[in-house]
Amino acid sequence: MSAPLKSSKASPLTGEIRVPGDKSISHRALMFGGLAVGETRIAGLLEGEDVLATAAALRAFGCAVAHDADGAWRVRGRGVGGLAEPSELLDLGNSGTAMRLFMGIAAAHPFTSFFTGDASLRARPMARVATPLSSMGARFVSRSNWRLPLAVIGSADLMPIEYTLPVASAQVKSAILLAGLHAPGETTVIEPQPTRDHTELMLRHFGAEVRVEDIGGARRVTVVGERELAAADIVVPGDPSSAAFALVAAAIVPGSSLICPGVGLNPLRAGLIDTLLEMGADITVANRRVAGGEPVGDLTVRHGPLTGVVVPAERAPRMIDEYPVLAVAAAHARGATVMHGLGELRVKESDRLSAIVDGMRAAGATVAVEGDRLTVEGRGAPLAGGAAIATNLDHRIAMAFLVLGAATERPMQIDDGRPIDTSFPGFAALMNAVGLRIERA
């Protein structure tokens, strides 16, 4: 049964909101802990449905995964190449990250692993991962068009490759590097545009040999295979993709002044913050520090006027998940915001590009899409709102339009808030505590 939610015009957002741990880093912390020798302790792990599905899958691969009373998680790894054959179908829920990274891990083990997910994940393409892994020696069986359910027929004799990504994707890069951990020699991924580098940073944290070279604006990432990883404790920073909703809400609700402590500030994830600053948003960073190899800081955002900007295509890999909520900010700016290079949005949890366009138009915004370019004509004033949004089980579409409702003249409604827990458990309660008005519809 669905759980419709609505949001109404909000009071000024004030106080402090501590967003959940970074989802991308949480997935990797569990997986790398499972591939390491020894016990890894993880603090701040995101306990959303996607990450819990990763923990369950690791148990099926034979890893001991425990949740302590103090909130920390412990993973006792089995070493590179040491996972056990799962006896069950592995359900990864809504998580494309978990699915694609597990393809790289499972490809390197001499048994067959079976994967599925929810309706959204079963509709997402897996060919872009299967293609390079097949050239390394793994085999795959799937439904038509490389859709789940999918079987990974692994090999203990993977061969290293050098692979140029046809489309910038941190997930594909990570899957190849994880498979390369198990192959002799060096496995290299060349990415035409830099993508988030959590995998490279965390592999080093666990003792892997990883080299990164800049080559004329592109990046060449190499991992040396057949080396053991050593268990290493991790503190997961706050997820910048989750903080994005609080940042935009405070930026568009008059009178707001909101603090988001402990947010990850990896430069390859900071595209939204860079864009909001270009738009004139009042965002400051304090207490910069490093945790587990990742830069972290405390963000303060205050309401103020925004101006439309042009967002270049090369920034897309650094903020691909944040375009739905950026469109919300753009609708409140003065002038047009033009976002280039959004083709990847069509193959996320839903066709996010279409969902943004349909939802923003229903709320009264003037938007246009041409190819992979989205234009939002901002009026510097609240939208009418009053629309009901079909989220298509997409958590970021759901949260973006709930944030929009905080500043529209009439409430905004979404058809189902349940998918929000995949990435931001407790979203409504946390946002309401600082001034939003989200309630059951």
Other C-beta atoms closer than 10 Å to the C-beta of 240 total 27
End-to-end alpha carbon distance in the chain: 14
CA-CA-CA-CA dihedral for 95, 101, 105, 108, to nearest 10: 120
Measured CA to CA, the distance from residue 28 to residue 174 in angstroms comes to 10
Q: Report residue 192: phi and psi, to 5°.
A: -65, -30
Let me know: does 160 contact 223? Beta carbons within 8 Å.
no
DSSP letters, 11-80, are PPPEEE--PPBPHHHHHHHHHHHHHEEEEEEEES---SHHHHHHHHHHHHTT-EEEE-TTS-EEEEEE-T
68 is catalytic: no
Burial of 429 (C-beta count, 10 Å sphere; 0-12/13-18/19+): exposed
Cα distance between residue 208 and residue 224, in whole Å:
7
- Which of the following is catalytic: 22, 118, 239, 321? 321
- DSSP notation for 90-134: EE-TT-HHHHHHHHHHHTTSSSEEEEE--HHHHTS--HHHHHHHH
Three-state SS for 153-177 is ECCCCCCCCEEECCCCCHHHHHHHH
Cα–Cα distance for residue pair 210/272, rounded to 1 Å: 28
Cβ atoms of 296 and 262 closer than 8 Å: yes
Known catalytic residues are 321
